[in-house]
Structure 1
């Protein structure tokens, strides 16, 4: 009888808890490409689940171990930011998070593409008397740089005129803007 009870409790506990993930991306969905930099830091002591978009159907979900920095590429748009916090051993996985649900922070996160610039944000979360809130916000901007590599050749034509041919490849790279 006792062995049966222990087996039932062990199975229930195994289904309830999930393995603690590393800091990083948990899930991404939606049609837009994730190209905008988003960086979030939070204090030590607890872990955090970060949801970008509607808490019931986020476009992006990340896991942040307290004291570390979560760096993601996110889709453009004005997104709600929801955060769930809890002890590392209370992680239940998506969608249960830490068991209490996620709290949507009052400020929306604006992520934009403007010309050759991808305008993201770096956020710092803190845990105070009023709960979790954004205490520091700074822009993170990446510039896209187009590079052309190629050559120009002149080919002879039957009439004796030279035909100029440009062959090459266009590539795009990103770097932090000045």
Structure 2
């Protein structure tokens, strides 16, 4: 296990040193990335993050986290062990218990918030993204006009007006 974490650090250290690009590195599942994973971490310690199915060493998703910076990545559906490995190779890697990323209710995508401290994983708690459809401020005028046109009626053979489209928005649920 330690060899695997060291190999991950070495594999990820080159791109980080050259480009310092943090965030998603690879999604090897082929599934859509839709469920939230947020990590709060102490400053000064950049980490490689991998998700693996329990009992497997195959990496499903990998990302780079800048220590102390806000980190959120969308992950595929499933149950995964999240592993953190320091990019400088100094210190042990950390693993969570298996965490499930799934639909948790109508229009709600369940994920997790992980809090790291100097001693390890200090806490995990569920979070969710809620989806809703709505009209943007500019579409309200168009919507009123649409309903006025419908109320006034249309001539036989005249095409009915097309309503403005609703926009999908996502936010963290309370």
Normalised by the shorter chain, which TM-score bucket?
A: 0.5 to 0.7
Cα separation, 2, equivalents of 1:17 and 1:164: 61
Return the structure number with greater strand share.
Answer: 1
Return the structure number with greater helix share.
Answer: 2
Root-mean-square deviation (CA), in Å?
Answer: 3.2
CA deviations over 1:73-96 (Å, ceiling 9, x no partner): 111221111221242xxxxxxxxx
**Structure 2 counterpart of 1:53:** 52
Deviation at 1:134, TM superposition (A): 2.0
- What is the TM-score normalised by the length of structure 2? 0.66
Deviation at 1:61, TM superposition (A): 0.9
**Structure 1 counterpart of 2:131:** 144
Cα separation, 2, equivalents of 1:16 and 1:106: 20
Cα separation, 1, equivalents of 2:109 and 2:166: 19
Find runs of 4+ consecutive structure 1 residues off by over 4 angstroms.
Answer: none
User: Kindly tell me: are residues 106 and 142 of structure 1, through their superposed partners in 2, closer, same or farther at Cα, counting changes over 3 Å?
Assistant: closer
Q: Does structure 2 retain, via aligned residues, the 8 Å contact 1:80–1:105?
A: yes
Residue correspondence of structure 1 range 128-167 to structure 2 within 5 A: 128=119, 133-147=120-134, 150=143, 151-152=146-147, 153=150, 154-157=153-156, 165=160, 167=162
CA deviations over 1:75-123 (Å, ceiling 9, x no partner): 1221111221242xxxxxxxxxx499x9562411221213211122110
Deviation at 1:157, TM superposition (A): 2.0
User: Kindly tell me: are residues 52 and 17 of structure 1, through their superposed partners in 2, closer, same or farther at Cα, counting changes over 3 Å?
Assistant: closer
**Structure 2 counterpart of 1:125:** 116
User: Kindly tell me: are residues 59 and 166 of structure 1, through their superposed partners in 2, closer, same or farther at Cα, counting changes over 3 Å?
Assistant: farther
Larger radius of gyration: 1
Deviation at 1:155, TM superposition (A): 2.8
Q: Does structure 1 retain, via aligned residues, the 8 Å contact 2:96–2:121?
A: no
**Structure 1 counterpart of 2:78:** 77
Residue correspondence of structure 1 range 94-105 to structure 2 within 5 A: 98=89, 103=93, 105=95
Stretch of structure 1 that moved more, 19-28 or 144-153: 144-153
